[in-house]
């Protein structure tokens, strides 16, 4: 027997999205998408979402999805990857059944890079639908809203967030702070940039 309780029927862990660009150039984008999806999914009533800290402990580890699901006590695992080419963005997402480790749904979102904010809401809606969770009108409004409409500000924010998460020195923290300030200057109404 295991000490891990049976997972809630409608629960998911969002793993860090893999960077397929190589050389770590898009890592901040994959992390940002993962975190944003996690937050959007957590706002849907009836769906339990593992914390970022729990999910991100599996970054760059070759651990089977079924083992991750058992470890985190979730029914499903959301995996993904990000690839950018010039002004194009390709996001692949896959929902994996925790007990079996089999993919139950996958989709590729291939759009212009400026569609990044809309893609996040689309993915969250699709995941909720696949998991049989109805999205209330209030949750739908949250899924449709974006923290900013300024893509340059959003990109600066994601880069600063990645710097903050990986900070090892005071210099790293200062660089993250400068990134958040630059994002706030690009969009003075971007609350998350000020919070950063």
- Which has the minimum average pLDDT: 21-25, 49-53, 138-142, 153-157? 21-25
The confidence score (pLDDT) of residue 24 equals 52
The kind and range of the H/E element at 96 are strand 88-97
Q: What average pLDDT does the segment 91-100 reach? A: 94
Between CA 73 and CA 114 the distance in angstroms is 35
Rama region for 117: left / alpha / beta (φ>0; ψ in -120 to 50; rest): alpha
pTM of the complete model: 0.85
Q: What is the pLDDT of residues 55-86, one digit of tens each?
A: 999 988 889 999 999 999 999 999 999 998 88
Between CA 48 and CA 12 the distance in angstroms is 6
């Amino acid at each position: 027997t295991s000490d891990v309780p049976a997972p809630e029927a409608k629960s998911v862990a969002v793993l860090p999205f893999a960077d397929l660009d190589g050389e770590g150039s898009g890592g901040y984008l994959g992390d940002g998408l993962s975190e944003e999806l996690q937050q959007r999914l957590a706002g849907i009533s009836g769906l339990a979402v593992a914390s970022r800290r729990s999910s991100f402990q599996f970054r760059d580890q070759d651990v089977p999805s079924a083992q991750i699901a058992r470890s985190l006590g979730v029914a499903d695992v959301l995996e993904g990857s990000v690839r950018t080419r010039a002004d194009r963005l390709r996001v692949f997402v896959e929902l994996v059944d925790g007990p079996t480790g089999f993919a139950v749904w996958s989709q590729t979102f291939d759009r212009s890079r400026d569609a990044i904010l809309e893609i996040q809401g689309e993915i969250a809606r699709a995941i909720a639908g696949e998991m049989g969770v109805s999205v209330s009108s209030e949750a739908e409004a949250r899924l449709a809203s974006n923290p900013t409409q300024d893509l340059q500000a959003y990109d600066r924010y994601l880069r600063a967030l990645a710097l903050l998460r990986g900070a090892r020195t005071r210099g790293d923290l200062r660089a993250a702070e400068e990134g958040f300030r630059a994002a706030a200057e690009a969009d003075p109404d971007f609350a998350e940039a000020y919070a950063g």
